[in-house]
């Protein structure tokens, strides 16, 4: 599974279709992948595993999200004022 994931990360072109968000409004897709990246980092480092599979979520949210949102959320995480549950 780790080899398949790193291959997928290497061959990444753009965010794939996500059945959870089938409509035109992809806002929640962006936010969900941002959350999943941070949750994945937190979960895998708590288990002591490598966090490299989480890079998939980072690639997806970087494809989907406006950069201003990403920088705002990153600032909020540093401040401790991020509203999402991680």
* Listed residue (6, 22, 18) closest to 63, CA to CA: 18
**How many other β-carbons are positioned within 10 Å of the β-carbon of residue 65?**
20
Contacting residue, 3, 11, 14, 16, with other proteins by CB under 8 A = 16
For the CB of residue 67, give the shortest distance to other proteins in the complex, in Å. Answer: 23
59, with CB counted inside 10 A (0-12, 13-18, 19+), is: middle
Interacting residue with other proteins among 31, 39, 62, 70 (CB under 8 A): 39
Query: Per-residue x/- marks for other proteins, 40-69, CB under 8 A?
Result: x--xx--------xx-xx------------
80 in contact with other proteins (CB under 8 A): no
- Using the rule CB under 8 A, is 25 a contact of other proteins? no
Q: What number of other Cβ atoms are within 10 A of residue 70's Cβ? A: 16
């Amino acid at each position: 599974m780790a080899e398949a994931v790193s291959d997928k990360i290497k061959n990444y072109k753009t965010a794939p279709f996500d059945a959870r968000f089938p409509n035109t409004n992809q806002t929640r897709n962006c936010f969900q992948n941002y959350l999943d990246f941070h949750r994945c980092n937190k979960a895998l480092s708590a288990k002591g595993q490598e966090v490299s599979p989480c890079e998939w979520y980072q690639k997806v949210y970087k494809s989907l999200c406006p950069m201003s949102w990403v920088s705002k959320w990153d600032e909020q995480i540093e401040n401790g004022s991020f509203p999402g549950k991680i």
